[in-house]
Amino acid sequence: MTTTASTGCVWITGASSGIGRALALRLARAGRPVAASARSLRDLAELSDEARLVGGFVQAHPVDVSDRSAMLAAARDIASDLGPIRLAVFAAGNHLPMSLETFNADVFQRLVQVNLFGVVHGIEAVLPDMLARRAGHIAVVSSVAGYRGLPTASAYGATKAALINMTEALKLDCDRHGIKLQLIDPGFVKTPLTDKNPFPMPFLISAELAAERIEAGLKSGRFEITFPKRFTWMLKLMRVLPYALYFRLTRQATRQR
């Protein structure tokens, strides 16, 4: 597949594995030029090769999302190579389970830098062009772990809650400037990150199915893309429960004692 700078492209961070990788392949297969970012050039090269086999185009742009200057440079390079970034999906993230016995600030700092600032850096990088064009589409991948606190996820959940709040706060301003902003809150998706969870994960789905749901959601007018619906709506209801009932149910569901 050939591309020209006039067509514009999709930029996906966190594209070396999990949801980001599956979404990159799916959008490339649908004919959209994809700029894929992650730290590992080897993983991105394998992704590009796989996309080529299904008739798609993925161009590797390795970057550390926690590096602000590198993210600004990556956005410039992508626009130079593939044209305007018409859709940016910020999916890079990390999860480090942390018990009470292993609680420490280093884990928080690492996750904040990747999960939160990785998205902040990406939004900062694409906004100037989108504002100038009064057009563009940004999707922020958070998690239902940001709805309420879950065992072993004090750091991870805090970063995801921050992403939800930040995206909500930006929504109306984006609307005024012609920029479509969406929030992606998946339930449990089988990835290298969720493989670390030491508790049962109800309604676990594959990364490929998650990518299918995200692609459909990106075409919709919904602000929040969340799935699987049965599970995520249960969690939405749990947000309004009093603490005593919430903690009791969470203890039972995660088998924490």
Annotated catalytic sites, by residue?
156
DSSP 169-189: HHHHHHHHTTEEEEEEEE--E
Both structure tokens of 1: 């597949």
CA–CA distance, 218 with 87 (Å, rounded to integer): 9
First vs last Cα of the chain: how many Å apart?
55
- Other beta carbons within 10 angstroms of residue 234's beta carbon come to 15
- Other beta carbons within 10 angstroms of residue 182's beta carbon come to 23
> By CB neighbour count within 10 A (0-12 exposed, 13-18 middle, 19+ buried), where does 244 fall?
exposed
Instruction: Provide the 3-class DSSP secondary structure of residue 35.
Output: strand
> By CB neighbour count within 10 A (0-12 exposed, 13-18 middle, 19+ buried), where does 7 fall?
middle
